[in-house]
Amino acid sequence: MVNQEDEIDLKVILFNYLQYWPLILVFALLGLLSAFLFNRLTTPVYKIESTVIVEDENAALGADLFESAGLLGLQGKSNIENEIGILKSFSLAQAALNELNFNVRYYREDFLKKTEAYGNFPILVSVDWNKPQVVGGLFKVEVIDENSFELSVEEEGFSVFYPNDPYYKGRLEELLFEKKIFRFGELVKGESFEFKIEKVSAQPNEIFYFKLVDTPSLALSYKEQLQAAPSNKQSSIVTLGLETPLRRMGEDYLNKLMETYLQRELDDKNRTAENTIKFIDQQLSGITDSLRGSENQLEQYRSENKIFNLSEEGSIIFERLSEYEKEKGLNEINLKYLQTLRDYLSSGLSGELISPSIIGTTDPLLNALVQNLSELQAERVRLTANFSDQTPQVRDINSRIQNTTKALQENVNSAIVNTQNVLADINGRIRTIEQEINALPQTERKLLSYTRQFTITENIYIYFLQKKAEAEITQASNMPSNKILDFAKSGQLPIAPKRSLNLLIGLILGLIVPIGFITVKDFLNTKIEDPKELEKQIKVPLIGMIGRNNSTDALPVFNNPRSSVTESFRSLRADLAYLSPQKQNLTILFTSSISGEGKTFVSLNMASVFALMGKKTVLIGLDLRKPKIAQDFGMVNDKGISTCLSSDTPWQSVVKHSGFENLDLILSGPIPPNPAELLLQEKFKTIVTEIKAEYDVVIFDCPPVGLVSETKELFSYADVNFYVFRQGYSMKGNTHILNNLVEKGGITKMYAILNDLHIDKGYGYGYGYGYGYGYGNNSYGYHEEVQIPWWKRALRRQR
């Protein structure tokens, strides 16, 4: 039973909405039309994607010794998040845009909008960005002929870009620029702008638009739009994405961004080699003069003393001395480098460190520390370009730099002491050999001295030349560690607008609006509409429903006997046989809550159906305040029940014949000043008793029980009492009046009637209870009217 009730409820709701189907259909079509126009007017947006491989760098020799100590956190592995931060940085975007010509945006007039274009455009705007320029607003170019055009401002909203302060733009409320004709190639100059417009392929009467955009604003915009993320958690492949209405522009930007990213990495690698070459050149500049001087001294001595070669003993001593001098020279270079490195660390300067391996230092720990410090400093430069000093990333990198610097200072101090000890030992050996030199002849001793000085300088010079060549080879062979895996490519279809989804959303919104309106309207409606809802609210049976009388005739039972309204009264007459069985004489009372609910109409026609049945019927108008029966029958309300009650006039003298067989009328009569008191007289009881004895059916048309008090006293005279409600007119709160009469007033034999039923609120109602259901000329042919709509017939066949 519960499932059946739920099913009926759904059908009621469905019928409630289907009666508004034209409104719902109109709004659904409007929703689809709005979605179509939105799809048509929205510029398509494409997704541009490219991929970059972030390679892991090989760890330097000795790096594994300090990785566990946290000093080499970046060595030997790639920080994907930092690389993504570089790719999304403002500085990288600005560097890429500096090589692209995106500062002038061109537009064409399209259907109800302006569409941006990129690539070959009929005009070319050249801008001098070294001077202040207006940006943001829109200019209009209308080509007049082959040589001239008209320039005007299409949209305001300009700002002024200042090259000396590129990150600040002054707001310009209004550009003082009047429409003017210029020649192609002519300088267009004003207080805050200066540019030229060249003709490429423009034709007369064509109209174009353009706006100027400064590079910092473009960089900020692209920085925010760029999407960068690893392909997956374990991957070192970074996917770059960009959503733009211009596919070629997006592809060009992403490709240039990746090229700039790789070039920046290569520049970072080459910077170490460049600094090494610079350091070596500085050393060679001093050694070259010393080498040239010692060479001249040696040649001059040989020439003057006619001695060119050392003796065998001298050669042996010289070879030993040369080895020690060479070793001493290398250690002195190493000591000088270490002292320079110590000064650098003590001063706290930020710059490029020279790798110890370039100088010849083979200490793996020192090489690893210097290389790691250099990488940490480079990483700090990258991070500070995008983050403040208080961010966790920058604070962490500063802490690593501090720890690495401390460890490197300790290592350098130790290396300086060790190198100084080695030099002291070498100098002691050299002094020993110099004592042996003193035993040689003076001429040979001086030759050995000049040769010794020349050889020392030459060895150092050759050594630096060799290191310079190595640094140059390293610089020439440097390649970016990261690589471009896929160049930028656009999807074949735009990602927005989503046409099918928008149409679906438009349809849904088009349905929601009227359905929501109907729902709210029904929720706020205080009138009785649904027969089933009325049944639930009242404490008495809903015995019948009377359909809407579409004619002006108040007596359809007599004048239109084949109408569905007439059939509803016949059905109600048949139900009375069950409500008051085995009663030869029947008294029926009709009332309602307020005036206008149709109780008089129901009373008239119920009396009519009994009269047609051959029953001697009388209709008594007891609504002494607002009588209507006389008007409906075309009579004069000159005498009636009020006449009898207020005088000695017998009731038989006020009976009027209705003009229809078996139907008499007792009108209410002239309106008395005290209608309630009249009906409460004992005389009224006597008159009713006599009338019941005279007639088979007595029908009372009583005043509204919700407005007057005398009706409550009249219920005792009737065998069956009917409470009339009117669909779309009676208030829902009126059901409480009926319920109080039954529960508190003790009224029995009370039944409800729903009059003027015309709104179908559900299957089985509105066309039920003898009204229309199965009787129209679409059914058994009993009635002449009520063409049931096709959609209702279709739904009924689903039963």
DSSP string, 103-129: SEEEEEEETTEEEEE-SS-SEEEEE-T
DSSP string, 685-716: HHHHHHHHHH-SEEEEEPPPTTT-STHHHHGG
Report whether 609 contacts 565 (CB < 8 A): no
* pLDDT at residue 462, as a whole number: 81
Burial code of 725-743, b = ≥16 C-beta within 10 A, e = fewer? bbbebbeeebbbbbbebbe
Q: Where are the alpha helices (DSSP H) in 538-663?
A: 556-559, 564-579, 599-612, 629-633, 641-646
Q: Is the pLDDT confidence value at 383 over 50?
A: yes
- In this prediction, residue 379 has a pLDDT band, given cuts at 50, 70 and 90, of confident
Residue 206 near residue 136, CB atoms below 8 Å: no
Cβ proximity of 373 and 408 under 8 Å = yes
Q: Is the pLDDT of residue 786 over 60?
A: no
Residue 200: strand, helix, or coil: coil
Q: Phi/psi class of residue 232: alpha, beta or left (left: φ > 0; alpha: ψ in -120 to 50)?
A: beta
More confident residue, 187 or 281: 187
- Please compute the mean of the pLDDT values over residues 634-649 and round it to a whole number: 89
pLDDT at 62: 42
Kindly tell me if the per-residue pLDDT of 94 is higher than 60: yes
Q: Is 587 helix (H, G, I), strand (E, B) or coil?
A: strand
Question: Among candidates 689, 618, 712, 614, which has minimal Cα distance to 658?
Answer: 618
- Give the phi and the psi of residue 689 in degrees, each rounded to 5: -65, -45
**% of the chain beyond a pLDDT of 90:** 36
Q: How confident is the model at residue 318 (pLDDT cuts 50, 70, 90)?
A: low
For residue 68, the model assigns a pLDDT of: 42
Average pLDDT score over residue span 353-357: 57
| pLDDT at position 12 over 80 | no
Q: Which of 6-20, 90-104, 260-274 has the lowest mean pLDDT?
A: 6-20
Model pLDDT, residue 74: 40
Distances in whole angstroms, Cα of residue 678 to Cα of each of 1, 589, 643, 708: 52, 18, 10, 13
710 Cβ partners below 8 Å, 6+ apart?
Answer: 675, 676, 679, 680, 703
Q: Are strands 194-199 and 187-189 parallel, antiparallel or unpaired?
A: antiparallel
pLDDT at site 376? 80
pLDDT at 244 over 90: yes
Beta strand pairing status for 663-666 and 617-621?
parallel
> Does 780 score more than 60 pLDDT?
no
pLDDT surpasses 80 at 673: yes
Over residues 67-94, mean pLDDT: 68
Longest dimension (CA), the chain: 182
The letter for the amino acid at 516 is: G
Cα 678 from Cα 689, distance rounded (Å) = 16
How far apart are the C-alpha atoms of 111 and 130, rounded to whole Å?
37
Mean pLDDT of the region 611-619? 92
Mean of pLDDT values over 212-233:
92
Of the ranges 94-98, 287-291, 490-494, 514-518, which one carries the lowest mean pLDDT score?
287-291
Span 245-285, pLDDT tens digits: 999 999 999 999 999 999 988 887 787 777 778 877 877 77
Q: Could you tell me the pLDDT band of residue 464, with boundaries at 50, 70 and 90? A: confident
Residue 770 has pLDDT above 70, yes or no: no
Paired with 50 in beta bridges are 240
**DSSP H or E segment with residue 249:** helix 247-305
The percentage of residues in the chain with a pLDDT greater than 70, rounded to a whole number, is: 83
Q: Contact, 569 vs 679, CB < 8 A?
A: no
Give the pLDDT confidence of 656-669 residue by residue, as tens digits. 998 899 999 999 88
- How much is the average pLDDT of 718-735? 92
The yes-or-no verdict on residue 347 having pLDDT over 90 is no
The model's pLDDT over 321-344, given as tens digits with 9 standing for 90+, comes to 777 777 777 788 788 878 888 887
Q: What is the pLDDT of residue 234?
A: 80
The DSSP annotation for 464-500 comes to HHHHHHHHHHHHHH---SSEEEEEEEE-SS-SBS-HH
- The pLDDT of residue 141: 96
Does the pLDDT at position 298 exceed 80? no
Are the beta carbons of 662 and 591 closer than 8 angstroms? Answer: no
Answer yes or no: are the C-beta atoms of 247 and 278 closer than 8 Å. Answer: no
If one compares 285 and 557, the residue with the highest pLDDT of the two is 557
Q: Which residues contact 329 (CB under 8 A, 6 or more apart)?
A: 456, 459, 460, 463
Residue 781 CB-density burial (10 A; 0-12 exposed, 13-18 middle, 19+ buried): exposed
By residue count, the chain amounts to: 799
In this prediction, residue 795 carries a pLDDT of: 45
Which residue bears the tokens 């209870």?
769
Question: Which pair of tokens denotes residue 488?
Answer: 């930028």
* Residue 317 confidence (pLDDT) above 80: no
pLDDT digits (tens, 9 = 90+) for 419-432: 888 888 888 887 77
Interior angle at CA 482, CA 480 and CA 485, nearest 5:
125
CB within 8 A of 669, min separation 6: which ones?
Answer: 624, 627, 637, 638, 639, 640, 641, 642, 643, 644, 654
Give pLDDT, residue 221.
94
pLDDT tier at 481, thresholds 50, 70, 90: confident
The two three-digit tokens of residue 102, written as one number: 């995106």
Per-chain mean pLDDT for the chain: 81
Q: Are 150 and 181 in contact (CB under 8 A)?
A: yes
Tokens 């640094």: give the residue. 471
Q: Which long-range contacts (CB under 8 A, 24 or more apart) does 15-20 make?
A: 15/760, 15/761, 15/762, 15/763, 15/766, 15/792, 15/795, 16/518, 16/522, 16/530, 16/761, 16/762, 17/515, 17/518, 18/791, 18/792, 18/795, 19/759, 19/760, 20/514, 20/518
The rounded distance, in Å, linking the Cα atoms of 644 and 656 is 14
Coil, strand, or helix at residue 617? strand
Domains in the chain, ordered, with CATH?
Answer: 1-42+497-524 (no CATH), 104-213 (no CATH), 261-472 (no CATH), 529-796 (3.40.50.300)
DSSP 8-state class, residue 162: E
**Residue 103 CB: number of other CB atoms within 10 A?**
20
Chain centroid to Cα 368, Å, comes to 50
Phi, psi of 436 (to 5 degrees): -70, -30
Which one is predicted more confidently, 454 or 310?
454
645 residue type, one letter: L
Q: What is the pLDDT of residue 69?
A: 42
Q: What is the pTM of this model?
A: 0.61
Q: Where residue 768 falls among pLDDT bands split at 50, 70, 90?
A: very low
Report the candidate in 668, 742, 670 with the shortest Cα–Cα distance to residue 705: 742
Contact 601, 755 (CB under 8 A): yes
**What does the pLDDT read at residue 468?**
81
User: Which residue in 583, 521, 547, 481 sits closest to 758, CA to CA?
Assistant: 547
508 backbone φψ class: left, alpha, beta (φ>0; ψ -120 to 50): alpha
List, in sequence order, every residue forming a beta bridge with 271; answer none if it has no partner. Answer: none
Instruction: Give the residue-averaged pLDDT of 624-651.
Output: 88
Answer yes or no: is pLDDT of 41 > 80.
yes
Give the Cα separation of 308 and 238 in Å (integer): 69
Instruction: Give the three-class secondary structure for 221.
Output: helix
Q: What is the pLDDT of residues 122-173, one digit of tens each?
A: 999 999 999 999 999 999 999 999 999 999 999 988 999 999 988 888 888 7
- HSE on the CB side for 95, CA within 13 Å? 17
Mean pLDDT along residues 749-753: 92
Give ∠ CA 665-669-673 in degrees, rounded to 5.
150
Q: Which residue has the higher pLDDT, 29 or 469?
A: 29
